[in-house]
Chains A and B, each alone.
Chain A
Amino acid sequence: MQQLGMGQAVNQALREEMTRDPDVFVAGEGVGVSIHDNPMFPTAGLLEAFGAGRIKDTPVSEAAIAGLAVGASEAGLKPVVEIMFNPFFTLASDMIVNHAAKLRYLSGGKSSFPLVVRMKSGAGIGAGCQHSHNLEAWVAHCPGLKVVMPGTPADAKGLLKSAIRDPNPVIFIEDMLLYFVPGPVPEEEYLIPIGPADIKRPGKDVTVVTWSKMLGVALKAAAQLAQEGIDVEIVDLRTLVPLDKETILNSVRKTGRLVVLHEATRTGGFAGEVAAVVMEAAFDSLKAPLRRVTGPDIPVPASPPLERFYIPDEQQLIAAVKEIL
């Protein structure tokens, strides 16, 4: 099987969907001519392959980029627009939150907005908090938006293809460090549906619910815990909205223990939602209080020791698991 980074997997998905459907186009800052000359990046080579008519380099104008997607999608095109770094979502947010998410509802179901907003996210790039800020809980809080946050290249490819074909606005969040972590990606065409979570490691003692880059942390922690005889089940959500409550609940009913792990900050983070779902429906199954392992409630600092302090790691997860065993 081919080994690709997540950026390359995204790139393949874009190429396949653009080849399949002439209405798919890509727009954003530097999606064509770029300051990066790196084949690991998601939009590398697209301009050469599809031309400037379909690969639209835009000015530094996030509101216009997002609005372009809203207007063009209702008119029948399939925009895939990029917000260069997750924090710049704020500049695009009116078009996404007040428009993409709501206009179908406001039309009584007459209009639809089949658009994808790709956002690059994640701490660990040493650039500080105006470039690293995981905002998935913000978008998940807006009814009308689907939210996808893959943790492996294969999931990214299959989910992005589904996102492009989805008749709704989909926010697709890619962790930039995952661009440089190769993983197997099937050669033949495939789709992964938006919605279902994936059990990345079956286990019987404790459930760890996670997504995106933190999947790697969970897998490493689980391997260490396995040596001590602790069997962790890892539920990779992949999609936050719609949320696969069944898979979460089935896992917790089996293990009786839950840790939710995400990189985003704690207060108001999506772990709270997962916890509430479990408390409402599987309270009786819990043998111990659930735990959250998250970034602390601070902006992501630039200095390496501070940034490392911010990003949740294996040791924190292992400690949380042991606390509730």
Chain B
Amino acid sequence: MEIPQAKKMEMLRSLLLARRFEESLTELCKIEGKIPGMMILCTGQEAVGAGVCAALQPEDSIITNHRSHSHLLAKGADPRTLMAEIFCKRTGCNKGKSGTLHLAVPEVNAPCTTTVVGGGPPIAVGRAFAQQYRRERSVTVCFVGDGATNEGSFHEAMNLASLWNLPVIFVCENNLYAGAQRHEEHTKVKNIADRAAGYAMPGVVVDGNDALAVYASALDARTRALAGEGPTLIEYKTYRWRGHGESDPQLYQPKEEIAVWQAACPIPKLRGDMLIQGLISADELHALEKKIDAVVQDAIRFAEESPYPEPHEALEDVFA
């Protein structure tokens, strides 16, 4: 498949943005009192969000999970209001109700982010049903981790989506761990994609650190879904560089394993390809990196300078 240059640029930008955004969070959340609650990052896995979202159109939807930052940024969420929400500020995209864990950005068709593991797939089925019902030419992507595929809800959703030929793409971001458990400690099948067979759905395994391969596979699945051929399960093999959350000392992750996967970082891979093919010059790359750094710094400044919500605002937004 010939991937247009503009798409490659879009993916490179998404990769760099997510990485910079989250590297900043790693530092910021070390500062006492700066960011409340948990901090769950996808550092090293950004090619999945970047590649999948590059294959989508604005009218397509994503339903994501606790490790959502790169998905949302790649889908076009505003880094400023996202950052402000992570800081739990009033100007955040969810007015401080969510914090980092359940960022909802309906403006870019990312209406529900759930941190209940396995909560996403049935919702994605509902979203896709609405798309089919209204004969829209759009699809819904559901991002789940490998661990989430052990929740019953995942299997019920897979079956229903397949039965009704719904335009869903189940994206399993297999970062080799679910909490402290390595893949083989929580799941007997080697490939999560094998689970698709039980629902007469195609299941494919793709290198999740290769943004171009991610893009191509997601585009295939989207084409199938739009043709009325139903859902696809795509398993992207990738790796969680950080702990489950930033407070996790990663005692169970071998250092050598982390090093191997850091060597397979998705950024140099795409960047190198683009430099070699002359799609971007070293100067342009440098300028892009500077621009992204400015976007992230601006988002942090915006978040820091924003006020917290007033206490009584807690009472708002329960009912429509």
Contact = CB atoms under 8 A, between A and B. Distances in A.
Interface of A: 29-30, 33-37, 57-64, 87-88, 90-91, 125-128, 130-131, 296-299, 301-310
B147 interface: yes
Contacts of A58: 186
Contact of A59 (B89, B147, B247): B147
A264 B249 CA distance: 32
Contact of A303 (B97, B148, B181): B97
- Chain B, interface size category, equals 35 or more
A91 B37 contact: no
A128 B102 contact: yes
Contact of B147 (A34, A60, A299): A60
A301 B151 CA distance: 26
Given A91-B116, A128-B97, A298 B248 contact: no
Given A59-B150, A60-B148, A308 B318 contact: no
Contact of A57 (B99, B185, B247, B309): B185
B38 A127 contact: yes
A307 B313 CA distance: 11
A60 B97 contact: no
Interface in B78-110: 88-90, 92, 96-102
Contact of A302 (B99, B186, B315): B99
B279 interface: no
Contacts of B98: 128, 302
Interface in B237-256: 243-245, 247-249, 251-252
Nearest to B313: A306
A86 to B, nearest CB: 12
A211 B196 CA distance: 47
9 contacts: A30-B181, A33-B180, A34-B180, A60-B186, A63-B152, A87-B116, A126-B37, A128-B99, A305-B311
A115 B220 CA distance: 49
Interface SS, B side: loop
Contact of A91 (B115, B151, B243): B151
Contacts of B151: 60-63, 91
A305 B309 contact: yes
Interface string B299-320: 0000000001111111100100
B118 interface: yes
B178 interface: yes
Contacts of A63: 151-152
Given A35-B245, A127-B101, A306-B314, 20 more contacts: A36-B247, A37-B251, A57-B180, A57-B181, A59-B147, A60-B186, A87-B116, A125-B37, A126-B36, A126-B99, A128-B97, A128-B101, A128-B115, A131-B115, A296-B314, A301-B314, A303-B97, A306-B96, A306-B97, A309-B314
B176 interface: no
A60 B150 contact: yes
B96 A91 contact: no
Given A36-B248, A126-B36, A298-B318, A59 B180 contact: no
